[in-house]
Amino acid sequence: MSRSASLPPRYAHRTLWTLLAIFLSPLAAYADPVFFESKLQKILFLQDYNTRIVVIGTSILGAACGLSGTFLLLRKRALMGDVLSHTMLPGVVLAFLLGTTFGYEKTLPLLLLGAAIAAGLGSLSVLMLRRISVLGDETAMAIVLSFFFGIGTVLLSIAQESATGHQAGLESFIYGKTASLTRGDVQWILLGSLFSLGLVLLLFKEFRMLCFDEEFTGCQGRPVVGLDAALFAVVIVTTLVGLQAVGLILIIALLVIPPAAARFWTDQLHHTTAVAATIGALGCWSGVTISALAPRLPAGALIVLSTAFLFLISLLFGSRRGLIGRLIRWSDTRASVGKDHLLRAFYELSESHLKWIRLEDLAGLRSWTPRQLQRLLKRARKRGEVIRGNANTWKLTDRGHLLAAHRTRNHRLWELYLIRYAHLATSHVDRAADRIEHVLGPELVHHLEQELDQRPPYAPESPHPILNPEESR
């Protein structure tokens, strides 16, 4: 590259920051007046101590929530995180009221202990209702959530009417205090996340069995109730340390959205947990970064919105179940089916001693519109399977004839099999064979040849031969 075509490093860096500033310009209305290159660089590279603390704490929390939430989602108890977060409210308020009586109203460990006890009672209540009654999981969780949250609301009103209620800081447990996390809060989050990770690694095999087949887990001698309690313990600890960051209302989003997004990328449990943890951490990092650029916007809500945006990306572009990928696969399948039908139509008409085939004859075998037929012929011609003659007539090439014979053979083998073993009428077997002929593998085709005593490569005679169009006219 010539010297004039390259840029000095300082200009390249400045160009990068300028592009980022332009990309984030919609936040300018909410950002500080001083929105320039040095501020953006300072935030993105975590040069500010407070931003660094908040990013590290929330990213660890997001990864832990994604990890533990994966098993809740696969256990079909995604709302259990919502139940546990709401059952913690009466525990926090009751611990505050008791602490006020004995002079320890602002002790964080006491408030967290109350939340843990309440969450434990809530999870045991769900398990007991599920075991001793005919109620389903969703009904049991809804009952426990409503009951505990009602008690918490009453206790919260009592605490706020007390002399020191407004100084309790109870709102931080409800709405979170993401932007003001301290080093001590991050240490709590790290300890809780390490506990959750250790318990998941220790019981990973058992959790996998429990999530996919509860009855099989019991038959293998594993304690199903005990494993459920262990899984709830993981979620309780994760929710407990997350109260200080995003609050009990938004913690459910971190437990549900990352695992749900991960399901669009993979089917393997190991990969799902890793992807869910990554999405949770990335959502927290991006939310905190946007909040630092626009301090007027709440950090907790931005974390949830960023995670939801990652879910939207996964929904659209996920390699396993993304809508775009599914649309592409559906389009490819539809094109493949149309190709098979076109080749088989050519082959069946050529069996009637027609060398050149008219469009009217092709359309008479299928419910193709003229536009659909022209599109199929154009694609087949591009692949070198058909050629066009005079007076808008068409015929198969040598390559097309081989492919058409193969497709027709699979179709007729399946037709004969259905007639002989499924006792379908000859007039109805064609449509039934259309549904399966496109997915017949080599092994199944070989099995059909043995069952029907048909030798390759020739196609058997059709059970419903096509009438020569010339004779029909």
> Is 10 inside a domain boundary?
no
CA distance 406 to 457: 8
Given a cut of 80, whether residue 196 has pLDDT beyond it is yes
> Is 311 inside a domain boundary?
yes
358 and 290, same domain (yes or no): no
Average pLDDT across the chain, whole number = 78
> Is 112 inside a domain boundary?
yes
Confidence of residue 237 (pLDDT cuts 50, 70, 90): confident
Q: What pLDDT score does 416 carry?
A: 77
Structure pTM?
A: 0.74
- The residue out of 261, 285, 318 marking a domain boundary is 318
| CATH number for 379 | 1.10.10.10
CA distance 134 to 411: 50
Minimum mean pLDDT range among 152-161, 281-290, 314-323: 152-161
> Is 385 inside a domain boundary?
yes
168 and 129, same domain (yes or no): yes
154 and 128, same domain (yes or no): yes
74 and 123, same domain (yes or no): yes
Minimum mean pLDDT range among 261-275, 278-292, 354-368: 354-368
Taking CA atoms, 16 is separated from 20, 21, 40, 114, 417, in Å, by 6, 9, 11, 49, 65
> Is 414 inside a domain boundary?
yes
Given a cut of 70, whether residue 303 has pLDDT beyond it is yes
258 and 347, same domain (yes or no): no
349 and 279, same domain (yes or no): no
Is 282 or 445 the better-scoring residue by pLDDT? 282
As a whole-number percent, the residues of the chain with pLDDT over 90 amount to 9
Q: Domain count of the chain?
A: 2
> Is 6 inside a domain boundary?
no
Confidence of residue 288 (pLDDT cuts 50, 70, 90): confident
What pLDDT, in 10s, does the model give residues 432-456? 666 666 666 666 666 666 666 666 6
107 and 229, same domain (yes or no): yes
- In order, the DSSP letters of 378-412 are HHHHHTTSEEE-GGGEEEE-HHHHHHHHHHHHHHH
What pLDDT, in 10s, does the model give residues 387-428? 988 877 888 888 988 888 888 887 777 777 777 777 767 766
> Is 18 inside a domain boundary?
no
Which residue's structure tokens are 């611990």?
A: 95
Is 187 or 78 the better-scoring residue by pLDDT? 187
Q: Are 175 and 43 in contact (CB under 8 A)?
A: no
Confidence of residue 265 (pLDDT cuts 50, 70, 90): very high
As a whole-number percent, the residues of the chain with pLDDT over 70 amount to 75
- The residue out of 318, 352, 387 marking a domain boundary is 318
180 and 107, same domain (yes or no): yes
157 and 295, same domain (yes or no): yes
Q: Which range, 34-38, 131-135, 166-170, has the best average confidence (pLDDT)? A: 131-135
Q: What pLDDT score does 457 carry?
A: 60
Structural domain including 176 reads 33-318
Confidence of residue 90 (pLDDT cuts 50, 70, 90): confident
Please name the residues in contact with 308: beta carbons below 8 A apart, sequence gap of 6 or more. 253, 257
> Is 16 inside a domain boundary?
no
- The residue out of 285, 318, 351 marking a domain boundary is 318
Q: Are 375 and 359 in contact (CB under 8 A)?
A: no
78 and 147, same domain (yes or no): yes
Confidence of residue 429 (pLDDT cuts 50, 70, 90): low
What pLDDT, in 10s, does the model give residues 131-162? 787 777 778 888 888 888 888 888 878 777 76
| CATH number for 136 | 1.10.3470.10
